[in-house]
Structure 1
Amino acid sequence: MYVVTQGSGASSVNAGLVADLRAQSWAPRVSPEILAFETVRGAPALVRGVEPDVYLALEGAPPPAAAPTGDRWALAGARLATRVGLAVGDEVALVGSSTARLAVVRVGGLFSAGTSADDELLVGLPMGEFLARLPPGVY
């Protein structure tokens, strides 16, 4: 299992490295991830750009009942959902706290992994790139 997160400059990870790792028999799961520090309904939150099926499998959480669709979806961790009052179908504004970004996403599902991930909001990699001001294919 490998988790690949972003760096900056020469330490950035790109889609090519993820593909190379996935081609190795000793790396059954590779999860590219982008971290963005945002404000969700006025509360600080870690928003993680992921491939949801891979990430949730690594965290030991079952996949949501319905697969996320489109590019403006989010999956809310159970504790975050309780803390800020999120429910499936809600539209949520994500306001950047470390980068000047604003995006609106729709909560497509809730998840519970029994880990610190339950305090996070998951979005797709393209949304993660936007929120973190990364070019496409850089994690």
Structure 2
Amino acid sequence: MVPVISAATGFLIAVLWFDLMFDAQVWRHRRSPEVPETVLDSISAYYRRVTTTASPMGRLVGLTMLVLPIALMVQAIWGDEPLWVSVVSIPAALIGIGLAAARIFRQARRLGTRRDPPAVQSELARGIFRAHIVCLAAMMTLLVVQLAGA
């Protein structure tokens, strides 16, 4: 299962990396009340593409987020890896995937519409950035644990 889990995790890390290339633009403006319009335009255009017009890639991300916990459960029940690998891997995956499913996708889709006032868009962009950092840490933890336990 380690190859499947590592491939799925690596794919999700790559997706996060692309997201963070846009999200990171808010970092320079973290002390400003609002993110500049040019930055909001760049980030929102990206999220409009990836949440609405980038089919079937969005479905592939969703499928990967479904396959990964299933593979982790199979590994925990039938795998030969030490118990600590599953004890760390499953929560790490659930944190990253859960945050993306429960919060990030909805916020990214909303930001992509550009319907909110700039102050709200700024908070959405900052929130997505922070959440993506948490997801990246969770997925990196998962990958390192899988490779170390293999």
Normalized against structure 2, the TM-score is what? Answer: 0.26
Task: Decide which structure has greater strand share.
Answer: 1
Q: Which has the higher helix share?
A: 2
Which is greater in Rg? 2
TM-score in terms of structure 1 length: 0.27
